[in-house]
Chains A and B, each alone.
Chain A
Amino acid sequence: MKNDWLFPHRCRQIGWFVFIPSALLGLFTLHGNSLLKNLGFQPVTLGDFMGSFADEIAALGAILGLLFIAFAREKSEDEMIRQLRLESLQWSVYINYFLLALAIIFMYDDAFFTVMIYNMFTVLLVFIIRFRWSLKRVDHTEEVIA
């Protein structure tokens, strides 16, 4: 079989284990302290190391996790699944740039910068949602004749 450039199936689970803590760390570094302040709590000061590298760790962890989730081989990866994968990727690129276009038109300064941070991950996130949904749809319309 020719190389399909996919990760082994078990990488999907590893991907979730890496993505979730990284995303939480990323959300905290982006919004944590302003949220705490709004709620009337003291802001949290991260240590020297985390203060310097939390955003790098979060971003790299989120990218790695999402890549694993998105491109781990399905248990029975065949030509139809490959087609669904490709369609989902096309959809996610369209949606991603549509959202980016909206942000370019309607958002400025710091808000636009925040959108750009999220935009680093939306291609993969939308791809994962669309791909899982298309697999579910195929599953639900299944008809088995014994």
Chain B
Amino acid sequence: MKNRLKVARAEKDMSQAQLAEHIGVSRQTINSIETGRYIPSTVLALKLARTFGKPVEEFFSLEETD
């Protein structure tokens, strides 16, 4: 699964720590999602999307191998 969370976060000028605090997870979790090492749950993906006020598909998309 691809994600463009890092770009979206940069556009909003938010740090990983700020985003993490906003949605109630650790900063490491945000980092792991951005680097593709961790696939968030549906709840967490929806919370992330809600933070940026956009649908979840704007941030996460399937790859050929998924």
Contact = CB atoms under 8 A, between A and B. Distances in A.
- Interface size range of chain B in the complex: 20 to 34
Interface of B: 6, 9-10, 15-17, 20, 24-29, 31-32, 34-35, 37-38, 40-41, 44
14 contacts: A76-B25, A78-B25, A78-B26, A79-B29, A80-B29, A80-B38, A80-B40, A138-B32, A138-B37, A142-B28, A142-B31, A143-B16, A143-B34, A145-B10
Given A141-B31, A141-B35, A145-B16, A78 B10 contact: no
Contacts of B41: 79
A142 B38 CA distance: 13
Contact of B31 (A78, A81, A138): A138
B35 to A, nearest CB: 7
B28 A139 contact: yes
